[in-house]
Structure 1
Amino acid sequence: MCNFNFACHFVKVEDGTEIIKCRDIPELLSWPADGETKEDWARYAVQDCISFMMKDGIKVPYATPAKKGEFVVELTPTEEAKILLHNEMVDANIGRSSLAEKTGFSLSEITRLLNLKHRTKIDTLEQALKSLGKRFNLTVQSL
């Protein structure tokens, strides 16, 4: 089972500012903007880092379990499905234009499909994964 719910921790620096870090995404180093809670900003920072990884063709790592005191940024099922599609593309060495050819989607549709902030139907993600020879499964778990 996949897990892209990344644990973040907040570290106070000399001037009293709290910075946000994530063990699983070492590139993530941020601090809240004025008026934003550190938790909201952590979510934004995680999404932003993942988006950059996806644009750069870098595989997004799975998250490790949170440690005591860490804040977990929980991604939506659609965001996780997009990351899974991206990671499958990286594994298969297939770019966006190749995926467009395989699916019959336009390149702009593929770009939106891989955009974490763009709303996408799960059926569309399933179709894209199917074009890569992959099957998409959903599961339900107890909380």
Structure 2
Amino acid sequence: MQYAIKLAEADGAFVATCRDLPAFNSVGDTVEEALRESVDAIALVLQSYMDEREPIPTATDKKRGEHWVALPALDVAKVGLYQAMQTKGVRKADLGRMLGMHAPQVDRLLDLAHKSKLEQVEGALAHLGYRVNVSVEPVGVRHAA
């Protein structure tokens, strides 16, 4: 899962914006720092969509001058779990019953700030009829969603 980020220099810093995530903003002293900080900023914005039970915006193609910023595999799996739940009409309480988990445990599976074990998210996805597919590719290549 990647989003195209545009950087603009302002007052000696690099300000990052994302067309697909209007609430997104990030900044860094260098291009590299701005892009690194953008990973956390994307996660924060996606978490807000999840918290508000809103659909996750689809990433559009990168335009000239934009940079791809990819989320870590665990975050992608958690967003995928959220999307699978939305597609299947499964609530957190339903998932908890399926997995034999208490509400706080289910909340952590959907919390992008919590470092769950990937295997736990994979297990939850399997109960919904989904699987995780991990790939390794060169930096800068967009993987189809």
Distance 1:122 1:44, change over 3 A: closer
Q: 1:70 aligns with which of 66, 74, 96?
A: 66
Q: 1:111 to 1:34 in 2, by over 3 A?
A: farther
**Unaligned 5+ residue runs, structure 2?**
139-145
Distance 2:118 2:131 in 1: 9
Contact 2:73 2:134 (C-alpha < 8 Å) held by counterparts: no
Shift, 1:102, TM fit: 1.6
How far did residue 12 of structure 1 move? 5.0
Deviation by residue 1:87-121 (Cα, 9 ceiling, x = unmatched): 11112222212211121111111111111121222
- Decide whether aligned partners of structure 1 residues 137 and 38 sit closer, same or farther in structure 2, where only a CA change above 3 A counts: closer
Aligned partners of 2:28 and 2:71: how far apart in 1? 21
Displacement of 1:34 in angstroms is 8.2
Determine the structure 2 residue equivalent to 1:39: 35
Match of 1:10, SS state, is: strand
- Structure 1: segments with no counterpart, 5+ residues: none
Q: Report the aligned-residue RMSD.
A: 2.5
Counterpart for residue 105 of structure 2: 109
Secondary structure of the structure 1 residue equivalent to 2:27: coil
Give the C-alpha shift of residue 125 in structure 1. Answer: 1.1
Name the CA distance, whole Å, in 2 between partners of 1:131 and 1:73. 30
1: CA distance, partners of 2:125 / 2:42:
24
Identity %: 26
Task: State which of 117, 135, 140 in structure 2 corresponds to 1:140.
Answer: 135
Q: Is the 8 A contact 1:7 1:22 kept in 2?
A: yes
For residues 51-109 of structure 1, the C-alpha deviation after alignment (integer angstroms, 9 at most, x for no partner) is 10111111213322322321222111111111100011112222212211121111111
Question: Separation in 1 of the partners of 2:88 and 2:72?
Answer: 24
Give the deviation of 1:33 after TM superposition: 7.2
Structure 2 letter corresponding to 1:135: Y
Q: CA deviation at 1:17?
A: 6.4
Task: Give matches, 1:1-143, under 5 Å.
Answer: 4-11=1-8, 18-28=14-24, 30-32=25-27, 37-132=33-128, 134-143=129-138
